Amino acid sequence: MDLYTALKFLHVMAAVVWVGGGLCFTILTILAGRDGRRLLSLLETLAPLGLVMMPASLTVLLTGGALVWIGAWGFQAWIVLALAAALISFVMGATILGPTLSRIATLKAEGDVVGALAQADRLVWPGRAEQALFILVVCLMVAKPGWAEMPAIGALAVALFAGVVLINTRGPRPTLA
């Protein structure tokens, strides 16, 4: 196995862990519905996933950059957009998702279930927006569009984020009752 193939394998495996973990996280929180106690318990159980997902996201970024360099891919549209989306997701995880999950765990441990639920509610939008980014990146990796196809990719991005808005504006928020 040559270096390029080994890096590609590592890149895809890290992407599976990162995207799959995030998608599983999102599906389970949606299934928790409006049951605030169930949601908090789920978040507490899933919070350690961040210890796996953060290194996986960094691995995706680093191996992706190395693959572009070694493979002499250049700055094609799909590469630029995928790296930008992955970087946005990495930053979101490091600055919003991870710290918020830590605050939820701390508040719950201190007995402030209402405060923990308020923090959990703040996690919904960025978490689902990140899933839309993941879907967009997978689409970019499969289709490998050029700069000429950017209007179609832009339309897909708008549709994905419109879906996030619709999902996040439906019905009441989780409660403790």
The CB density around residue 130, as the number of other CB atoms within 10 Å, is 23
Residue 121 inside a domain? The answer is: yes
In a domain, 59, yes or no: yes
Record the tokens describing residue 85, joined without a space. 């989306």
CA dist 67 and 12 (Å) reads: 11
Q: Would you write out the chain's pLDDT as a tens digit for each of its 177 residues?
A: 999 999 999 999 999 998 898 888 888 888 887 788 888 888 888 778 878 888 998 899 899 989 999 998 888 988 888 888 878 887 888 898 888 888 888 898 899 988 988 888 888 788 888 888 888 888 888 888 888 888 888 888 888 878 777 766 655 566 665
* Residue 176 domain flag: no
Residue 108 falls inside a structural domain: yes
Q: Flag whether 157 is in a domain.
A: yes
pLDDT at 177: 58
**Based on the structure, what is the number of domains in the chain?**
1
Q: Note whether residue 130 is domain-resident.
A: yes
SS3 state of residue 175? strand
Q: What range does the domain containing 29 cover?
A: 3-169
Q: What is the pLDDT of residue 97?
A: 84
Q: How many CB atoms lie within 10 A of CB 42?
A: 17
175 in a domain, yes or no? no
Q: Is residue 80 a part of any domain in this protein? A: yes
Residue 135 per-residue DSSP state: H
